[in-house]
Amino acid sequence: MPEDILPGPGADGAATRVLQRYVFVYGTLRQGDDNDITRLLPAPRYIGTATVMGVMYHLGGYPGVVLGAGAKAGPVTGEVYAIEAALERRLDEIEELYPQQKDEYFKRLVPVQMAGQRLLCVCYEINPRYTAGARVIASGDWVKDRHA
């Protein structure tokens, strides 16, 4: 997993290293959408646009992505943010992983493609059983599909 270097020396005088947690958001958590991640606290740090392989489904007011490289799979567009643990817990609540512990989404750690490099990110994958009869978003881009 990528590392960030915190400013200032640690107890031994060397720079302090911390593992940074990243999240890939592809639906209503994208900037400007209903659950815009940039309105949540602690504030995330925008890293950039990225893609992950999967199939995106239109589930009414939000999308879901089944990750993988199957026959229908293609690039799914989203945004990457650096997040703190407190924000990750808030995202778990939004996706109803905690405290509700519903099974609509699974939290995965997946490699995403960003500017020609791979970055390991948290991604909330839809449980495939919730996609039955749902329309595939062929573009793999929720924002583009929603505004088409």
More confident: 70 or 53: 53
pLDDT of residue 19: 72
Residue pair 29/90 in contact (Cβ under 8 Å)? The answer is no
Q: Name the pLDDT band for 14 (thresholds 50, 70, 90).
A: low
| 59-116: pLDDT as tens digits | 999 999 999 988 889 999 999 999 999 999 999 999 999 888 899 999 999 999 999 9
Cα angle for residues 33, 36, 37 (degrees, 5° grid): 150
pLDDT of residue 72: 87
Using the structure block, give the residue that is written with the tokens 């799979």: 73
Instruction: Provide the mean pLDDT of the chain.
Output: 89
Backbone phi, then psi, for 113, in 5-degree steps?
Answer: -100, 125
**pLDDT above 70 coverage of the chain, percent:** 88
Domain boundaries of the chain, sorted by first residue: 18-141
Mean pLDDT of 14-31: 83
CATH of segment(s) 18-141: 3.10.490.10
Neighbours of 141 (CB within 10 A): 21
The helix or strand, by DSSP H or E, that contains position 91, with its residue range, turns out to be: helix 85-94
Sign for the CA dihedral angle at 35, 36, 37, 40 comes to negative
pLDDT of residue 63: 98
